[in-house]
Amino acid sequence: MVQPSADLLTISTIPATSVPNDVKLVIWDLDDTFWKGTLAESGIEFVHSNAAIVRTLAARGIISSIVSKNDYDTAKAILEREGIWEYFVFPSISFDPKGQRVADIIDNAALRADNVLFLDDNITNLEEVRYFNNGIMLARADELLPVMLDHPRFSGKSDLGLQRLRQYQLLEKKLIDRKSTTSSNQEFLRSCAISICFDFDIHANFERIVDLVNRANQLNFTKKRLKTTNDIEKFRSSFDDYGVSTGCISCQDRYGDYGVVGFFMLKKNRKLFELLHFVFSCRTMHMGVEQFVYEYLGQPDIAIAPEVAYPLNYHSKIDWITVAAKSDRPTTLLHNKNKLLLVGGCELLQLASFCSPNRVEFVNKTEIRDGDEYVVRYDDPSFFLADRNVLGRSQEMKKFPGWTYDDALSLDRHIADASLIVLSMREGLNHNYARTRDGIIVRIPYRNMQIYANKRASWFNEHFKIINLNLSDRLGLIDKSLKWAKDRSRRDAPIFVLGANTRNEFGQELAASHSYNQFCRRFCRENENKCYFVDVDEIVPRRCLVDNRHFTRDGYYALSMYIMKVLSSENLILSQ
């Protein structure tokens, strides 16, 4: 056997004390590396301490594989006899060159070469593997094995249950099945019965989330690492920022359970719709999970940090993944065939993030006209009540920055076939009301009135007239809106009416909110088994209040869990 010189080893291998990257996969040669001797020649002496290293690495979440020039069946029989065969994934035992075989294992394991270590005793094999695998770490067994388990790059993460090994075994079995079928890749994926679950209990999964953010590379689309303890604590506290929605994604298929494989942090308000974190484990590579979740979230803006394995539009259409509820806790995620309709203020932007992907949102947004920024609000009674024929002919409404005739027709369609409806109309008690020349009443937010007063006063005064409505008048319009929704919705579609938060309010605002809550509670009581009052004061903990209108993520989560609880207790769970 050719022995490399000391000079060549200095060039071709890493010093035992200087492994540059965390190791996720160790690929072992067998002859004179994992065991002593050459199997095809004079026989071998099994090295039990090396088998113990493989077992210890597995308990740290570090996987082992084999690339050896030997007879497959003979080598496998020895490893099975010693009880270590099952600890290796994607073993490649043949007399073919090693460079491309190592590359294939790295690809099958969905890892980067930078996190892979190849052990061999032959300098030619080491150089060949380097040539085919840029960035891979190389070492000779006699140099590295004595110090491997004490080296910080092999510390891994405690996995005494060998979950990571089991998950790679699932990948291996799936690869074998994929190679044995003649069907297309999409047909194979459809046969896998892939399902995902969303879990919004972020704190219970926090350690796993940090691990994903810091360690995932190929499917880490944002790559915002948490380098220090201070970074991690700021990250944790950002979960409670207004407008921030977060969730974990777990995945399973007919091969088994992959555990928590993804995380997203979404910032959403009337001006912004952006993913701040979007990261997935390489265990789900080529399954389409990340694209499915991205589309499920509504394709938010995202600043993708290179390099990623493939783009978020890699598949033309994903029809092989379903969303399932976690069996051990309630969820507001409805089956795709059930439609959720939300109409109201900005609080529904947050609530919607815990809901069905098949949803329609009529929620606050911003519209730019002639360089000015107008607020478009759908929690306007006239959005429900305006005569559609008059609205379609109205020249004033065509030039009015706000909800449109097409929006109103869309509301008519969606309320007729929605499975679940959530309405929030508290802001109907605020702002100005005006009547167009053709008799349509619209509510105009304060910001928009300021623009009219400063820049479009003559146009506004020509086409609109401010009308004075007291509290009773405004509650009357809201009452008509709720009745309109009740009468036009499906008989089996429950309507949830969100109350107002009265904490952090004073004076007239507090009195108005109390009146609104009393009215909504009475309306729902009079229409029981159809309409349900959501008492925000009771449901959202005080610690979750940002101000009198906005809550932290946990506050919106509490609201979603309450709605699901009512659906369950009233036997209103929608069919799946």
Provide the pLDDT for residue 11.
Answer: 38
Residues 414 and 525 in one domain: yes
Domain boundary among 113, 128, 161: 161
Within 10 angstroms of residue 172's Cβ, the number of other Cβ atoms is 18
pLDDT tens figures, 355-397:
665 678 898 888 888 888 888 999 999 999 999 999 999 988 9
Could you give the maximum distance between any two Cα atoms of the chain, in Å?
Answer: 103
Residues 510 and 456 in one domain: yes
- How big is the CA angle at 339 (ends 334 and 341), to the nearest 5 degrees? 110
Handedness of CA 545, 549, 550, 555 (dihedral sign): positive
Residues 86 and 27 in one domain: yes
Provide the pLDDT for residue 364.
Answer: 82
Provide the pLDDT for residue 218.
Answer: 82
Provide the pLDDT for residue 548.
Answer: 73
Instruction: Indicate whether 501 belongs to any domain.
Output: yes
Can you list the residues of the chain whose pLDDT is less than 50? 1-12, 17, 327-333, 575-576
Provide the pLDDT for residue 350.
Answer: 66
Residues 359 and 499 in one domain: yes
Provide the pLDDT for residue 110.
Answer: 84
Residues 196 and 157 in one domain: no
> What's the pTM value of the predicted model, to 2 decimals?
0.58
End-to-end CA distance of the chain: 65
Provide the pLDDT for residue 6.
Answer: 36
Q: Could you tell me the CATH number of the domain that includes residue 312?
A: 3.40.630
Domain boundary among 294, 323, 352: 323
Residues 139 and 231 in one domain: no
Instruction: Indicate whether 525 belongs to any domain.
Output: yes
Residues 410 and 482 in one domain: yes
Domain boundary among 130, 161, 192: 161
162 and 58 Cβ atoms separated by less than 8 Å = yes
Residues 365 and 488 in one domain: yes
Instruction: Indicate whether 70 belongs to any domain.
Output: yes
Q: In Å, how far are 177, 351, 446 from 508, measured between CA atoms? A: 68, 27, 17
3-state SS, residue 279? strand
Q: How many domains does the chain have?
A: 3
3-state SS, residue 376? strand
Residues 136 and 228 in one domain: no
Domain that holds residue 83: 6-161
Residues 228 and 202 in one domain: yes
pLDDT tens figures, 502-551:
998 889 999 999 999 999 999 999 999 999 999 999 999 988 887 777 78
Instruction: Indicate whether 168 belongs to any domain.
Output: no
Residues 298 and 445 in one domain: no
